[in-house]
């Protein structure tokens, strides 16, 4: 019996894209699948015909040959083009539904879990960078069985349920669903005499010490990723990563905002009134801050380049000093008398010597004058 045209079998045009071929194959394969048409020989023949057509047209080289020469240009073995069987074609198209490769790829490898560690640092360490050693809790080889998982330290045996594949197929109606083997838990291997300490896993909870290089300029909340330092993987899977989260302790003098440092500098009222010089600290040492006469409390002074260079790059920030006027305390009687005399000398001259206070008082006075009481 002559073979039908492959494009006709799939119900697509000769210019059909790969996605159209796959869509048509899905629909027809589900319709004529033997599990869905038990005992129907015609449906089984149609299924084989659909599979053969898709096998040829989904292969670019075979499709080009077929377009040029038809069935005569293909291997006379027919449905065995390239040696692929039903399972290979069916799983390649339906693998996202029924599992990858129908269990042919062996036990599935699992990536290890990621870990997190909160690293507390001083401001100086965060700004300059540091190398610190941290101790983290993680899975380590079991000391009792030395990582073998067996009391006798013998090698694990191939699981007889899944034949080492780590996966089994469960029949659900006309679907064949793939899942992890319940005996070996997807590992493909079983330990016949499991270690009492680790239960045959070969790993146990422990600790390990890691040296962490903290780059200069990190800030609160920054994370450092150490690839492969997380939990070990399973069945040959890669280890997870370790994320070190930076937590900068509060500083007694400085607050950080981005690349800038901020500091409050208390000054006495004599220096504020007459001016002077103050030594202020920076992360690089001391510098002299010049206070001009008649400096008001809250005035900001910016020291260029005395801040931080961010780990993300850019210029070095500034140190911003905010001066705050400190009222004298624990005054002696003579000192109080001097202040009273100073205050009396200013009597009637508030507008000249305290312009801000005078302006504020005038505003308050006008407010009450304009207020209408019921």
pLDDT digits (tens, 9 = 90+) for 145-174: 877 788 877 778 888 888 878 778 776 555
285-291 and 255-257 as β-strands: parallel, antiparallel, unpaired? unpaired
SS3 108: coil
pLDDT band at residue 84 using 50, 70 and 90 as cut-offs: very low
Q: What percent of the chain has pLDDT over 70?
A: 84
DSSP state of 194: B
pLDDT of residue 99: 45
DSSP 301-322: EEETT-S---TT------EEEE
In CATH terms, 115-248 corresponds, of 3.90.1170.50, 2.10.230.10, 3.90.1640.10, 1.10.3720.10, to 2.10.230.10
Topology annotation, domain 255-326: HSP40/DNAj peptide-binding domain (2.60.260)
- pLDDT of 307 over the 90 cut: yes
- Dump pLDDT digits (tens) for 224-277: 999 999 888 876 778 899 999 999 999 999 999 999 999 999 999 899 999 999
Which pLDDT belongs to residue 287? Answer: 93
Q: How confident is the model at residue 47 (pLDDT cuts 50, 70, 90)?
A: confident
* Domain extent listing, the chain: 6-98, 115-248, 255-326, 334-370
> Which region among 31-35, 81-85, 88-92 has the lowest average model confidence (pLDDT)?
81-85
Q: Which residues contact 290 (CB under 8 A, 6 or more apart)?
A: 275, 277
Question: Percent of the chain beyond pLDDT 90?
Answer: 34
Q: Which CATH class is domain 6-98?
A: mainly alpha
194 has which bridge partners? 150
The pLDDT of residue 133 is: 94
**Over residues 120-148, mean pLDDT:** 88
- pLDDT, residue 235, reads 67
Q: Tell me, what DSSP letter sits at residue 63?
A: H
**What is the reported pLDDT for 256?**
95
Strands 175-180 and 255-257 come out as unpaired
Task: Write down the residue that tokens 């494009």 correspond to.
Answer: 7
Residue 336, both tokens:
């109080």
pLDDT at res. 373? 58
Condensed to tens digits (0 to 9), the pLDDT of residues 263-293 reads 999 999 899 999 999 999 999 899 999 999 9
Look over the chain and give the mean of its residue pLDDT values, rounded to a whole number.
Answer: 82
């Amino acid at each position: 019996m002559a073979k039908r045209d492959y494009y006709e079998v799939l119900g697509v045009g000769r210019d059909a894209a790969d996605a159209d071929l796959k869509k048509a194959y899905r629909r027809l394969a589900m319709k004529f699948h033997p599990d869905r048409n038990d005992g129907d020989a015609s449906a089984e023949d149609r299924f084989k015909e659909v599979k053969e057509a898709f096998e040829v047209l989904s292969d670019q080289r075979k499709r080009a040959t077929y377009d040029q020469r038809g069935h005569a240009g293909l291997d006379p073995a027919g449905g065995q083009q390239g040696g692929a069987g039903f399972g290979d074609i069916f799983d390649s198209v339906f693998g996202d539904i029924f599992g990858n490769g129908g269990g042919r790829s062996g036990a599935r490898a699992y990536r290890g879990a990621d870990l997190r560690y909160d690293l507390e640092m001083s401001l100086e360490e965060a700004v300059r960078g540091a190398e610190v050693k941290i101790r983290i809790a993680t899975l380590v080889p079991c000391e009792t069985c030395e990582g073998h998982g067996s009391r006798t330290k013998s090698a694990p045996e191939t699981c007889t349920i899944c034949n080492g594949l780590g996966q089994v197929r469960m029949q659900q109606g006309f679907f064949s669903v793939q899942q992890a083997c319940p005996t070996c838990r997807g590992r493909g291997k079983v330990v016949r005499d499991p270690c009492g300490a680790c239960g045959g896993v070969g790993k146990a909870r422990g600790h390990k010490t890691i040296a962490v290089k903290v780059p200069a300029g990190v800030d609160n909340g920054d994370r450092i990723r150490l690839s492969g330092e997380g939990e070990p993987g399973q069945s040959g899977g890669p280890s997870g990563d370790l994320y070190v989260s930076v937590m900068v302790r509060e500083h007694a003098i400085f607050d950080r905002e981005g690349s800038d440092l901020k500091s409050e500098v208390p000054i006495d009222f004599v220096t504020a009134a007459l001016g002077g010089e103050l030594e202020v600290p920076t992360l690089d040492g001391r510098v002299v801050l010049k206070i001009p006469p008649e400096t008001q409390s809250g005035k900001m002074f910016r020291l260029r380049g005395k801040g931080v260079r961010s780990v993300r790059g850019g210029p070095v920030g500034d140190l911003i000093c905010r001066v705050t006027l400190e009222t004298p305390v624990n005054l002696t009687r003579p000192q109080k008398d001097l202040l009273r005399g100073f205050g009396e000398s200013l009597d009637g001259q508030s507008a000249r010597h305290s312009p801000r206070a005078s302006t504020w008082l005038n505003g308050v006075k006008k407010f009450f004058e304009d207020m209408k009481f019921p």
